Amino acid sequence: MNPRRDFIQKLALSAAALPFAPLYGAPHELDVFGFSGDQSVLRVAIMGLGSYGTRVADAMQSCKRAKLAGVISGTPSKIKNWQKKYNIPEKNCYNYENYDRIKDNPDIDAVYVITPNALHHEAVLRVAAAGKHVICEKPMALNAKEGEEMVAACKKADVKLLVGYRMHFEPNTLELIRMRNEGDFGKIMFFQGLSGFRIGDPNQWRLDKALAGGGSLMDIGIYAINGARYMVGEEPVWVTAQETKTNPVKFKEGVDETIQFQLGFPGGAVASCLSTYNMNYLDRFFLNGEKGFGELQPATGYGPIKGRTHQGPLTEPHVVHQTVQMDEMAGIILDGKKAVVPVDGQEAVKDLKIIDAIYNVCRTGEKQKLEL
């Protein structure tokens, strides 16, 4: 018995359903969660009830605009546990074979896809076809081609596609972006992004190329890629990269252990970044300009995020990232709110194009131009 293989097979079942109009905002006197329709609460089903799905569900208990309304899982025991823990009605529980039926459920507005990377593409297409908004964990897909197909499917179905870029709502991160925009650092010259940790269980899905699509770059390196873009405030125009592998048994073919990569920006800034599954204590962003600097360390962990600039320490209060993320995403979906740093599917496709290019450069050894 192989639960992981069964998981893939179940999720790969194609949906026959045609796109349906989104059902959020339907009038309710009082729904099963005790929220009246005029409070404009985004009702979310979580797909994938693992450790991060649990973290998001727990964080959502403090949300004002987003509430956990349903679950999608291939493990019946997890569904039962979540029903008890979060008071989820039976009619809002689905497995990977029948979740297309959410199209007929007015109590679910959106689905948050929190599954292994290789399963995102098919899940997003099916959720979109069911007429529901989608939030997808990062990386959004295995490559830019898949990502573009996901964006197109959601556009065709007239539903929103957002990606779990929780750092885009983090207060100290946003403070550095504000300072850069106001010229406090002057002309930006350099960014450094260090993202890594020593990964444990060699049998986990993150070290399985078929499920993860790669190794450290897909999992932790994407923070440095995305961070370089929102910290510098420009889109990179070239990339170089080098891969290092010290343990080919644990990190098999196609599963990167350590990658160093460099990005060039049109304003002249350069970025030097490291992604690894073989070193701890690597969670640092450093932004250097002609008039000052900004630093975050830790930069992307669950918090608290800490930092300083040439003007002194950053003092923004710590908030649970996923709570803020889900409330802000509810505002984007329900009210058309704009994020300071985009969190839509197009933003994710840009990261995927850079990932594709980094892997290609590691193979060829040649500098590659980027067109995002």
Nearest to 132 by CA among 165, 174, 152, 160: 160
Enter the tokens of residue 90.
Answer: 């039976």
Average pLDDT over residues 241-265: 98
Rounded Cα distance, 258 and 192, in Å: 16
pLDDT over 60 at 285, yes or no:
yes
The answer to whether 109 and 333 are in contact (CB under 8 A) is yes
CA distance 152 to 170: 29
- % of the chain with per-residue pLDDT over 90: 89
Which whole number is the average pLDDT over 311-326? 97
**pLDDT band at 39; cut points 50, 70, 90:** low
The pLDDT score that the predictor gives to residue 172 is 98
**189: Cα separation from own chain's centroid:** 27
Task: Say how many Å lie between the first and final Cα of the chain, rounded.
Answer: 43
Mean pLDDT in residue range 334-356: 98
Predicted local confidence at residue 11, as pLDDT: 43
* pLDDT, position 29: 36
- Which of helix, strand or coil describes residue 104? helix
CATH number of this structure's domain 3-166: 3.40.50.720
CATH number of 171-317+345-369: 3.30.360.10
So what's the pLDDT on residue 21? 31
Give 210-237 pLDDT, tens digit per residue: 999 999 999 999 999 999 999 999 999 9
Q: What is the pLDDT of residues 248-259, one digit of tens each?
A: 999 999 999 999
- What mean pLDDT do residues 103-112 have? 98
**Whole-angstrom distance, CA of residue 333 vs CA of residue 57:** 19
Active site (catalytic) residues? 138, 223
Domain regions of the chain by residue span: 3-166, 171-317+345-369
User: Would you state the pLDDT for residue 79?
Assistant: 98
* pLDDT exceeds 60 at position 53: yes
pLDDT grade, residue 65 (50/70/90)? very high
Query: What pLDDT score was predicted for residue 267?
Result: 98
CA distances from 50 to 73, 82, 272 (A): 9, 11, 33
* Mean pLDDT of all residues in 36-48: 81
The whole-number average pLDDT for the span 89-94 is 98
Structure tokens at 180: 């850069």
Q: What are phi and psi of 101, to 5 degrees?
A: -70, -10
Model pLDDT, residue 56: 98
